[in-house]
A = this chain, B = another copy of it.
């Protein structure tokens, strides 16, 4: 029988001994130079087609470098959508490659909609016969707690998971997330704890997780108290700032509970290291991925 997502995530973290996730965000102006050469001089549809081919080659290389090193990848859908249909074709292939390499896939799509529309989004990403077939998807709760239900129902059917946007760390994040008393974000956390209770596996972790940005400890600890069984997906390490201690401020006593993402910090070099990177981008990425993994070790 297939395992529930919360358990599969725990098994993946234990297998590699760390809770590091790498974001697969193809920034077209930062890919290795030999790949950029393919699309740099093109326009319109030709640009998108060639850039998509370059991104596929890049992702194949990255996945090769990450296999057995980190527990999961997190493709950011926006960068594939920017390439139109060819970009989504690459995303389909990328998910299949990552799955074959034993990496879990967290689809960073931040979807949120009502009833049949939400169900369509959930199936596309979580169902085994959906085009993208990832293991989990990020979800936006603004339209209401009821709009999470079609995603959670699909998690039950497909053994998938969700990460609901609870607290982010962008400059304006408190505008709505800290509105009201209690904070709106805490209300979301309470709803998730309740809804996620039905999908807690033998590892003690639920398939209903939360996006909780890296921030100084107090709020992360509060959110952990509310959502004891939730995986926290933590962006905001590396290029987005946020310290290592902040990133794991929401960790459980057993060391589980946080998944720490880095995208640009692993995939791309600082400007002055461009030449070294271009000489062997796969080696660079493998080195940075190992460093990211070492920072966020978890006892096996």
A: residues with CB less than 8 A from B are 25, 27, 43-44, 48, 76, 78-79, 81-89, 91-92, 110-118, 120-121, 123-124, 129-132, 140-147, 165, 168, 170-177, 179-181, 184, 187-188, 191
CB pair B168–A131 under 8 Å, yes or no, is no
Contact A187:B179 (CB < 8 A) given known A78-B124, A88-B84, A129-B43: yes
Expressed in whole angstroms, the Cα–Cα distance for A110 and B165 within the complex equals 14
Contacting residues, chain B, for A81 (C-beta < 8 A): 88, 120-121, 124, 131
CB pair A147–B176 under 8 Å, yes or no, is no
Q: Which of B92, B123, B168, B187 contacts A143 (CB 8 A)?
A: B168
Expressed in whole angstroms, the Cα–Cα distance for A188 and B143 within the complex equals 13
Contacting residues, chain B, for A145 (C-beta < 8 A): 172, 175
Distance of A87 from chain B, by nearest CB (Å):
8
CB pair A173–B144 under 8 Å, yes or no, is yes
Contacting residues, chain B, for A111 (C-beta < 8 A): 78, 110
Contacting residues, chain B, for A114 (C-beta < 8 A): 168, 170
Task: Give the residue name and chain of the B residue nearest to A129 (CB).
Answer: B44
Contacting residues, chain B, for A85 (C-beta < 8 A): 85-86, 88-89, 91-92, 131
Expressed in whole angstroms, the Cα–Cα distance for A202 and B186 within the complex equals 43
Most buried by B among A78, A85, A180, A184: A85
CB pair A144–B187 under 8 Å, yes or no, is no
Contacting residues, chain B, for A184 (C-beta < 8 A): 176, 179-180, 184
CB pair B175–A117 under 8 Å, yes or no, is no
Contact A168:B181 (CB < 8 A) given known A86-B85, A131-B48: no
Most buried by B among A114, A131, A143, A184: A143
Task: Give the residue name and chain of the B residue nearest to A89 (CB).
Answer: B85
CB pair A146–B171 under 8 Å, yes or no, is yes
Interchain Cβ contacts under 8 Å between A and B, 20 examples: A27-B116, A43-B129, A44-B129, A76-B117, A78-B120, A82-B120, A82-B124, A82-B131, A84-B92, A110-B111, A110-B140, A141-B176, A142-B142, A143-B165, A144-B172, A146-B175, A175-B187, A176-B188, A179-B180, A180-B181
